Structure 1
Amino acid sequence: MKIGFIGLGNVGGKLSGSLLRNGIDLTVRDLNDALVQNFVNLGAKAGTSPAQMMRDCDAVITCLPSPAASAAVMEGPDGLLEAVGPGKIWMEMSTTDEAEAKRLGAKVIAKGGAAVDCPVSGGCHRAATGNISIFAGCDRATFERILPLLTTMGRRVLHTGDLGSASILKVMTNYLATANLLTCCEAMVTMKAAGLDLGTTFEAIKISSGTSFVHETESQVILNGSRDISFTMDLVKKDIGLFQTIADRNNVPLEISPLMIEIFADGIKRYGDRAQSDDII
């Protein structure tokens, strides 16, 4: 398959790197020309427009920071939708609103193409090694067609059901991860104030019922002082907001989610929207 990849940021750059390492015929595009050139130097081709990429490729992947960015790539001038036709596949790997994934996907399907929302979970370090988890929402036939491609980027791939289902599950898992991060931060600060060694505290949590993937990865980053997990506060706030939107649409009253949104709004006010999420400590 010839694959196009739009969005070479923290996650997209690593996913597309896995494709290139596995010998995939890859065309890339990003607003940052330097990122594109890096991939061209490694053997990828540079896409001139989303429409051109869809014409020349069997499938085009988008991995972008917001639903608005995906909509612009799909529906803007020389957008992907201009070149969609039978046999073409749009793969949305962004963390996005399920309603927007369905809306854009319906336009792809109406033109004879196939649409998949296939966001990833596990962090940039796992994306870099091809060990990330991938959710895929689409019909079964399309899933079987793209599964070999997905397994070049991730080790665990789950077919979640219809288009949009993967995006719902993705923002739910990000909500849970953020809740874990906030409780880890409060636990560490409290233990330090109580006079406990933070290295010992880390190990105690790790071997206890209080451990989690977030603790075992992000608490280490906090303790070593870097706080850099390549995930910024604005993205966290966006993802929690998407989860809150799902709850609102389904008339589910939540207590913790609004508080988390408020905490990260305060963090952004203090440190800026591009501050690392672990700076919330």
Structure 2
Amino acid sequence: MKVGFIGLGNLGGKLAGSLLRNGIDLTVLDRKEDLMADFAARGAGTAQSPAALMRDSDVVITCLPSPAASAAVMDEMLAEIGPGKTWMEMSTTDDAEIRRLAALVEEKGGTPVDCPVSGGCHRADTGNISIFAGCDRETFEKVLPLLTHLGRRVLHTGPLGTASTLKVMTNYLATANLLTCCEALVTMKAAGMDMATTYEAMKISSGTSFVHETESQLILNGSRDVNFTMDLILKDLGLFQNIADRNDVPLELSPMVIDIMRDGQTRYGERANTDDIIRRLEEATGLSILADGFPAELIDDEPEERGYEVFPPGRARPLAAE
């Protein structure tokens, strides 16, 4: 199988690296020539255009920063899509947009798969990230071997669009959790608590979470380099709010989360890291939320293993998965 990969940014570069590390016949494409040169030095092929990449590949994976970017790439690839071609969208995008693009692929005889990831760039780097896959079951079983090289836990979410819907939900939850962690850390600092002790109390308690155990460490170190920026999270938060609006769900916290992150973007820059949001409270209180002994970057210490499909509770395993 010849695999093409478009988008070698913070996340995409790590996902593509997992494919290359696992011996997949890989060709890459990115606007930044230095990123392509790095992959070429490690044995990957390089393409000159999305159309050429689709023409010469069996599967093309896209991991791009916005729905508009994915649409632009699809416009270029579409003429080369036909029977036997598969497009796998790993970008975080709108469920309606993924269905629109998928329909174009299907009209040409190709096969689309909606498969965003969740778990952080550090887990993408080791092939231990989680993957949601939206497509029919037959297609899922065909792409599952490839997905298990990209991630550890793979969940078949249902039809096209369901994976993207769930993905933006998880990013909303992570951002809301980040804000509560920031408020907890600053309040404990103001109350005179030791920050390392506060971190550990949160970690071993009912208040712990994936976000706390990862991003709180970067906050306390001071690097706050989570490899995810405010422009991207505001895009994802807006997608989640749109889902709620379309379904007449009167959310209360979501608009507040969006307002806080927008204020952070205005203060610290469009491309500021999302963890910089704690600076709003540091500036308001005059406190510095730092502690010794915490890492400047996240490193996944879970050994890399071949991925596998996970099943919801009570859901019968399909016969093909036995």
The TM-score with structure 1 as length reference comes to 0.98
1:278 to 266, 275, 279: 275
3-state SS of 2:232 partner:
helix
- Structure with the bigger RCO (C-alpha within 8 Å, sep 6+) is 2
What is the identity, as a one-letter code, of the residue corresponding to 1:143?
A: F
How far, CA to CA, are the matches of 1:108 and 1:219 in structure 2?
A: 41
CA distance in 1, matches of 2:232, 2:51: 27
Residue 240 of structure 2 corresponds to residue 243 of structure 1 = yes
Residue pairs, 1:132-171, within 5 angstroms: 132-171=129-168
Q: Structure 2 matches for 1:6-21, cutoff 5 A?
A: 6-21=6-21
Per-residue CA deviations over 1:190-243 (Å, capped at 9, x if unaligned) read 000110001000000111111000000000111111100100111111111100
SS across alignment from 1:85: coil
In structure 2, C-alpha distance between the alignment counterparts of 1:273 and 1:123, rounded to whole Å? 20
Amino acid at match of 2:170: T
| Map 1:30-69 → 2, pairs under 5 A | 30-69=30-69
Count of residue pairs brought into register by the alignment: 278
Distance in 1 (alpha carbons) for counterparts of 2:230 and 2:124: 19
Deviations 1:246-268 (A, max 9, x none): 11111111111111111011001
Query: Is 2:165 aligned against 1:185?
Result: no
Cα distance in 2 for partners of 1:57, 1:101 equals 21
Q: 1:93 aligns with which of 73, 90, 93?
A: 90
Q: Deviations over 1:12-37 (max 9, x none)?
A: 00000000000111110001111011
2:4 aligned counterpart, secondary structure: strand
Residue matched to 1:25: 25
* In structure 2, distance between residues paired with 1:164 and 1:47: 28
Counterpart amino acid of residue 255 in structure 2: P
CA distance in 1, matches of 2:43, 2:246: 45
Matched residue, 1:202: 199
Greater share of residues in helix? 1
Which aligned pairs between 1:105-124 and structure 2 lie closer than 5 A?
105-124=102-121
1:5 matched residue in structure 2: 5
Kindly provide the CA deviation profile for residues 152-201 of structure 1, in whole angstroms up to 9, marking residues without a partner as x. 01000000000000000000000000011000000000000110001000
In the alignment, does 2:222 pair up with 1:225?
yes
**Mapped partners of 1:54, 1:154: distance in 2:** 23
SS of the aligned residue for 1:262 comes to: helix
1:234 counterpart = 2:231: yes
* SS of residue matched to 1:129: coil
Distance 2:81 2:245 in 1: 33
The percentage of counterpart residues that share the same residue type is: 74
- 1:51-100, CA deviations, whole angstroms, 9 ceiling, x for partnerless residues? 1111110110000000000000001xxx1111110011000000000100
What TM-score do you get using the length of structure 2 for normalisation? 0.86
> Could you say which residue in structure 1 is the equivalent of 2:262?
265
Paired with 2:78 and 2:245, the residues of 1 have a C-alpha distance of: 30
